[in-house]
Structure 1
Amino acid sequence: MLSTANAFPVTDTQTDTQTDTQTRPTFSATLGQCWLKYHLASGPDPSLAYRPNLMPETKDKEDYRNFKTGSLFDRVYNTYKLMHTHQTLDFVKQKHSEWSSCNRTQMSMMDAIVSLDQLVDESDPDVDFPNSFHAFQTAEGIRQAHPDKDWFQLVGLIHDVGKILALWDEPQWAVVGDTFPVGCEFQNSIVFRSNSFQDNPDDKNPAYRTKYGIYEPNCGLDNIYMSWGHDEYLYRVLMKNKCSVPEEGLYMIRYHSFYPWHSNGDYMHLCNDKDLQMMLWVQEFNKFDLYTKTTDLPDVDNLKPYYQSLIDKYCPGILQW
């Protein structure tokens, strides 16, 4: 699989000649920043503590991922309450069994993206318009900042396509929202942690209520059962269809909703060295996933030919879903 590790952007102004491993930021510095922001943050919800460095264009960064107030609060909270009640280790294993074979249907990637016109993410406090627009917003934000990384632009376009599960009668609490490990202690950085897990049986199981639970220290995220949703599903679709998205892009897709990890520095005791390096890429992606959500909707029809060419390059033809 194509490696792009030497292309990590150190700063927004960095040129392509500054992409070797000596100029790339180290994980320890990034983790230290996460830790500091996490522990100095005020307010009852630690999931709000981290904000990636990016100049806001349409509204203040503090207005994004607002899980405390807003017109969509009830809808968002109810989705997370159901998620945090029903997402157990047994449930996740059941969903792996149901969906990993990718035998539901066949369609092209662009058709899957267009199908998201029917979906509004009930866990998202920032948007109340169809998810396909967010796909093109994210891709265009990445394209502007990283014109030389077409695979990165493609990831921006397709990262939420796994939400198609919600169109196949899966409840949104099993599709959308922030993800977290199951089979071990639920960390405080999970959104609504203090008042949404009371009815989750795993939160009462002594085997799962310890720091490591069923896992070994530093076993790696590949060996962790994450709460089931669109991240893991799309990752499995891409792997099943042998798509050529680079490994860095696959990490972005698989863990972009894992906010307790990439935005709060939590669950580091389960990570291996590879996870820690890949987290830098997930954080870079998160800037565009979060801060491109505006009501200024893109001209999708005009953009489709360019992005179809990227689909043809990395995940062509009819795919199994």
Structure 2
Amino acid sequence: MAPTALVDSYPPVSHDFNAGDLTPIQSKKLPSAAPLSPNAGAEMDAVSDAVDTINAYLGEHPDAPRPKNVEEAEDDSWKTSGSKFDAEKDKDQFRNYEDAMDSVKNFYAEQHARQTVEYNIAMREKYLGKDREVNARMTIWEAIDKLDELVDESDPDTSLTQSQHLLQTAEAMRRDGKPDWMQLTGLLHDLGKLLVFFGAKGQWDVVGDTFVVGAAFAPENVYPSTFEQNPDSVDPQYNTELGMYERGCGLEKVMLSWGHDEYMYHILKSQSTIPKAGLDMVRYHSFYPWHRGGAYRQFHKADGSDEDALQATLAFNAYDLYSKSDEPPQMEELRDYYSALIDKYVPGVIEW
């Protein structure tokens, strides 16, 4: 059976746009990306952990929900009750911030230079388009087991496997009484890292903070000066406040830099019944210039849907950043519980 398209157009903007018209300015021709090394999984995991270290050190958005002492009964209390599991946790226990920044400087320089409009359209056509090739057919548990092949034994912060981190995130939400779909979102949010097995070019198109492509690169991004090496930064189609988009078009119609978040968001959007708030958590949890820095508000829709997405992302953020520890969850004890959630929201075999 031929795969169906996971997105409708490239890029998903509100006005006519022809991918064939893309002619990025050639004054900044980039060398070819180095191929992934045999240790690509461990290297990606190390970069991803360093990125998390930086974001944990910088803290949450000032409007992030904080723990409360009373239980809230309303259905949307998950938005406002904050995270309780980390209320007494020392959020500075991770690696030294400056060391982490230094370790990812070259990573961000490459990511910021290579994530162009042209590249992002090509990746959406390759992985999400109607003529895409299915990379694998796996259940969620099979995908989690596959992701466990990405292990970084040199990481001093944690000896956790990928699945253990995902379970820690989900279990922290479960202890705080978050809804079952949010717990499942915690379990699934990083599965897009499977891209490293599906032809990713490097670390730079799998992990790292995400940002808008097709408009001016916001100064709220980490290492903003490195965007000067991106050809789009001198292309008048893309280097203005709105770029190729319309004010108020909505973040749903804006391309974010390609990586595991965007990939997994579209997989779940087309093949699960997870509520929109959960999908927003997956798509935007690495979109730090937006949910922490306050950038890109010019694209928010007037109907408040993007503000709702922001609140959902802030409710999720602490669980992603601060749930790591060296106390691994017991996979076999938890499998039945999460299998029931998977069967409820993402049953059967998924086309990756």
Residue 161 (structure 2) pairs with residue 133 (structure 1): no
Q: Distance in 1 between matches of 2:121 and 2:158?
A: 31
Q: Secondary structure at the match of 2:98?
A: coil
- Alignment partner for residue 274 of structure 2, among 224, 245, 261? 245
Q: Quote the residue 1:144 is aligned against.
A: 175
- Alignment partner for residue 124 of structure 2, among 96, 99, 106? 96
1:185 is matched by which residue type in structure 2? A
Give 1:161 shift. 0.5
Alpha-carbon displacement from aligned partner over 1:157-203 (angstroms, at most 9, x marks no partner): 00010110012231221011110000111111111223x22321111
1:79 is matched by which residue type in structure 2? F
Q: Distance in 2 between matches of 1:143 and 1:24?
A: 14
Alpha-carbon displacement from aligned partner over 1:10-36 (angstroms, at most 9, x marks no partner): 853443434579x976xxxxxxxxxxx
Structure 1 residues 262 and 167, CA gap change in structure 2 (3 angstroms): same
What are the ranges of 5 or more consecutive residues in structure 1 without an aligned counterpart? 1-8, 26-51
Q: Distance in 1 between matches of 2:245 and 2:223?
A: 24
Q: Quote the residue 1:157 is aligned against.
A: 187
- Alignment partner for residue 283 of structure 1, among 314, 328, 334? 314
Residue 327 (structure 2) pairs with residue 296 (structure 1): yes
Give 1:55 shift. 7.0
Contact 2:289 2:295 in 1 (8 A): yes
Q: Quote the residue 2:110 is aligned against.
A: 82
Q: Quote the residue 1:29 is aligned against.
A: none
Structure 1 residues 218 and 263, CA gap change in structure 2 (3 angstroms): same
Alpha-carbon displacement from aligned partner over 1:248-304 (angstroms, at most 9, x marks no partner): 101111111101111121111111120012211110100101110223322222222
Contact 1:76 1:125 in 2 (8 A): no
Q: Quote the residue 1:191 is aligned against.
A: 222
- Alignment partner for residue 284 of structure 2, among 236, 255, 259? 255
Q: Distance in 2 between matches of 1:258 and 1:318?
A: 29
Q: Secondary structure at the match of 1:93?
A: helix
Contact 2:238 2:244 in 1 (8 A): yes
Q: Quote the residue 2:11 is aligned against.
A: none
Residue 275 (structure 2) pairs with residue 219 (structure 1): no
Structure 1 residues 128 and 269, CA gap change in structure 2 (3 angstroms): farther
Contact 1:175 1:228 in 2 (8 A): yes
- Alignment partner for residue 71 of structure 2, among 15, 20, 26? 15
Q: Distance in 1 between matches of 2:95 and 2:275?
A: 28
- Alignment partner for residue 261 of structure 2, among 203, 209, 231? 231
Q: Quote the residue 2:147 is aligned against.
A: 116
Q: Distance in 1 between matches of 2:348 and 2:84?
A: 35
Q: Quote the residue 2:36 is aligned against.
A: none
- Alignment partner for residue 296 of structure 2, among 264, 267, 272? 267
Q: Distance in 2 between matches of 1:319 and 1:277?
A: 28
Structure 1 length-normalised TM: 0.78
Q: Distance in 2 between matches of 1:274 and 1:216?
A: 16
Structure 1 residues 250 and 20, CA gap change in structure 2 (3 angstroms): closer
What is the number of equivalent residue pairs in this alignment?
279
Q: Distance in 1 between matches of 2:208 and 2:158?
A: 13
Contact 2:210 2:287 in 1 (8 A): yes
Q: Distance in 2 between matches of 1:202 and 1:216?
A: 18
Aligned-pair identity (%): 40
Contact 2:79 2:315 in 1 (8 A): no
Contact 1:61 1:291 in 2 (8 A): yes
Q: Distance in 1 between matches of 2:83 and 2:338?
A: 27
Q: Distance in 1 between matches of 2:344 and 2:318?
A: 25
Give 1:128 shift. 6.8
Alpha-carbon displacement from aligned partner over 1:76-117 (angstroms, at most 9, x marks no partner): 223222211100111100000000046222000111112111
Contact 1:12 1:145 in 2 (8 A): no
Give 1:210 shift. 1.3
Residue 260 (structure 2) pairs with residue 200 (structure 1): no
- RMSD over aligned Cα atoms: 2.8
1:152 is matched by which residue type in structure 2? M
Q: Secondary structure at the match of 1:98?
A: helix
Contact 2:67 2:83 in 1 (8 A): no
Q: Quote the residue 1:42 is aligned against.
A: none
Structure 1 residues 280 and 303, CA gap change in structure 2 (3 angstroms): same
Q: Distance in 2 between matches of 1:125 and 1:279?
A: 32
Q: Distance in 1 between matches of 2:79 and 2:161?
A: 36
Q: Quote the residue 1:3 is aligned against.
A: none
Q: Distance in 1 between matches of 2:79 and 2:249?
A: 25
Q: Quote the residue 1:312 is aligned against.
A: 343
Contact 1:175 1:230 in 2 (8 A): yes
